[in-house]
Every structure is written in structure tokens, then in C-alpha cells.
Amino acid sequence: MAYEKFHRYYDLVMGDRSEAARFIQGLIANHKPDTRTVLEIACGTGSILGILSRSYEVAGLDGSRPMLAHARKKLPHVRFYRQDTASFRIKHKFDVIVCVCDSINHLLRLTDWKRTFRTVARHLNPGGLFIFDVNTTGKLQRLTEGPAWERWFGSDLAIIKVTGGRRNKFIWDVKIFEHQRQNRYKLVHEEIPEVAFPLRRVVTALQDRFTAIKVFDPFGTNASDLSERLY
């Protein structure tokens, strides 16, 4: 399972998520202003959820035990579920369900995306809203052609490179060089797979479950497979 090693560094590498959370709050306010309850699936360490919890009654769901351990420690007042994103089953329904930070890209088959859409629809109240974002094929391909991303965190060094691209499957190759003492470092290495599907196929899959679909590029350009990110 992804993030079995990287979870310890996830918040450090991802940085402040408040801007992303405020963006999601804006989407909720614009498209379903009467929202009271929000579920975040693939919630990770709860960074987005913590900010949403200031305005809504929230819950979180993730399949990773170590990621949820971080989330529960940060947000002891929030209910969390450890279940599979594509097939979760809980007794509550919600006004809004969100799945962000390109989490859905980690599902490597379109059938699992479709299962997620079906499961989400089942857990929404009437008139409910589903918000999710994706890394596009264009963005991931550009990352494979670019240099590795590297950053120091105190005495620790993170190096991340995206590789692959065949059949729109990619690997986030994550290396953390954790300083031990003097000039000695411990390597923590994890490969995190992602897949991107053409926009038209994603929209077609959504149409089986949702009555109104809006796709947009948050950077203001026309939504396409070349966009940096799509919601």
C-alpha cells in the first residue's frame, strides 16, 4: 500500500495545505451553500479536513493505517474510518464528499474509479455534491520529462522524480535521506504509482452516477488533458 514509508514525511514534504482547503471551501460555498456535513475520502493525515472542520461537521476515510494514525493524533475530535476508497460502506450519508490532492489517481484501474463514483453517490444525501481533483496525463508526462524535485528539511533531504508514462501509468519515486549522525544518512525509499485517464473517459464514467457534471481548470485555462490539474 502507498505511503507505508513516506507517511512520516508526508506533511513535511506537502507543506501548508490551508490554501487548498480554502479553495475547496469556496467550491462548497458556491455549489452547495447549505452544506452541514462533509466526508473526505483518501483523507491522508487530515490536513485538509482539519481546516474544513472549522466550518462543517466532518469525517475522514482512508485505507492507510499509518496515515490515519497521524490524522487521529492531529484531529482527535473527528471520526475516522479505515476503509477502501472504492468500496467503503458506512451508515451515514453526507451533503458533500471530497477526494483531493490527486488521491483518485492512485487507483490504477478505471473500474476502480467507477466503483468509487458509485460508492460516493450511494453515500450522498439527495442533491449532494462530490468534489475531486486529478493530475492530468499532460501534467504527469511533463513531470517525467523534467528534473527531479529536491528539498532539504533541516538535515534531511527529499528527492522526488516522476517516471513512466506508458499507458498513462506513472511512478512517483520518493527518496528521503534521513540524517543519522555526522555524514551518515538512512535512505527511505518508496515508489508510489499513479494513473491518469483521458478527461472524456472520466466524464463518461461520472455520467452513470451524477446528473450534473462540471469540469474546470483552477488556473483559469480551458479544461483539457494538458491542464496542470482538473477539478
Confidence class for position 55, pLDDT limits 50, 70, 90:
very high
User: Do 4 and 68 form a contact (C-beta atoms < 8 A)?
Assistant: no
Pairing of strands 94-99, 124-132: parallel
pLDDT above 70: percentage of residues in the chain: 93
**SS3 for 118?**
helix
> Is the pTM for the entire model greater than 0.75?
yes
Q: What is the pLDDT of residue 81?
A: 97
Q: Which of 112, 171, 110 is nearest to 140 (CA)?
A: 171
**Does pLDDT of 14 surpass 80?**
no
pLDDT tens digits, 24-45: 999 999 999 999 999 999 998 8
Q: What is the dihedral of CA 68, 229, 87, 122, to 10 degrees?
A: 110
- Residue 84's SS3 state is coil
